[in-house]
Every structure is written in structure tokens, then in C-alpha cells.
Amino acid sequence: MIRGVRGATTVHMDDLDIIISATEELVAALIKVNDIQAEAVASVFISTTNDLTAAFPARALRKFEGWTYVPVMCMQEISVPNALKMCVRIMIHLNTELPQSEIKHVYLNGAKVLRPDLPNSLAL
């Protein structure tokens, strides 16, 4: 069965190194808390708010061993008034037998405010 594993983080500046580093930190946390193996990943969608244009955050995934062939797509979030700025969001489509309630979603930095309603999410 395919499940979605969500995460998000924010950055303080539209800078290539900062965006890649923040995305790498987020992906590492998602991999760790969900024990994700690259072979179990069907695909990954990564979005950014429209104020982040300096980098494709998908480049961060290529730093992880075994993730070379994982299909990744970057896109831009809908520009909603008063929405969280400078935000990178990720959705990993994972083949797993875990029920939805056991998937751990991760929210870092300013993105901690996005899903306080999820009892199994981690705001690190």
C-alpha cells in the first residue's frame, strides 16, 4: 500500500545553500523517524512558497545513499494571503504496510505551526 509521509520546514533566506541544507535536514528526519528505505519510495513531491526561487530543493535528496533513482518533482505552492512564508513542504509516497495513524510527519522551524492537529506528527 502507498502512504503519504508529510513534512515541512522554513528558511530565513532565499539562498541555494540554505534551502538545500534545510531540505536535507527535513528529509533526514523523515527517513529516521519512519525508517524509510529508498527502495520503498514510489516518488517524492517537494513544493516551495513563491518567495523561494534560488534552488530546486530536490537536489538535497541526491545526497542520501540509494536515492539516485527515486523520482522527485519540485513545484510551487499556491500563493494564499497570510500563508506561511519561506516554506519547503515535502510529500514522500511510501510503500508500507503501516496504517495512516503510525506514519510520523515532521515539521521543523517555523513550519511547526502547520499541523498541530496531527497527534503523530513531530514538531522538532
pLDDT of residue 94: 96
Question: Given a cut of 60, is residue 124 above it in pLDDT?
Answer: no
pLDDT digits (tens, 9 = 90+) for 72-119: 999 999 999 999 999 999 999 999 999 999 999 999 999 988 877 766
pLDDT of residue 118: 67
pTM score of the predicted model: 0.93
Q: Is 3 a catalytic residue?
A: no
> Which residue ranges form the domains of the chain, and what is each CATH number?
2-123 (3.30.1330.40)
Give the active site residue among 62, 65, 69, 97: 62
* Three-state DSSP state, 46: strand
Question: Given a cut of 70, is residue 122 above it in pLDDT?
Answer: no
Q: Is 87 a catalytic residue?
A: no
Q: Is 89 a catalytic residue?
A: yes
Q: What percent of the chain has pLDDT over 90?
A: 86
Question: Given a cut of 80, is residue 6 above it in pLDDT?
Answer: yes
Q: Cβ(122)–Cβ(32) under 8 Å?
A: no
pLDDT of residue 113: 84
Question: Given a cut of 80, is residue 21 above it in pLDDT?
Answer: yes
Q: At 3, which amino acid appears?
A: R
Q: Is 69 a catalytic residue?
A: no
pLDDT digits (tens, 9 = 90+) for 62-72: 989 999 999 99
Which of 49, 50, 63 is CA-nearest to residue 17?
A: 63
Q: Is 59 a catalytic residue?
A: no
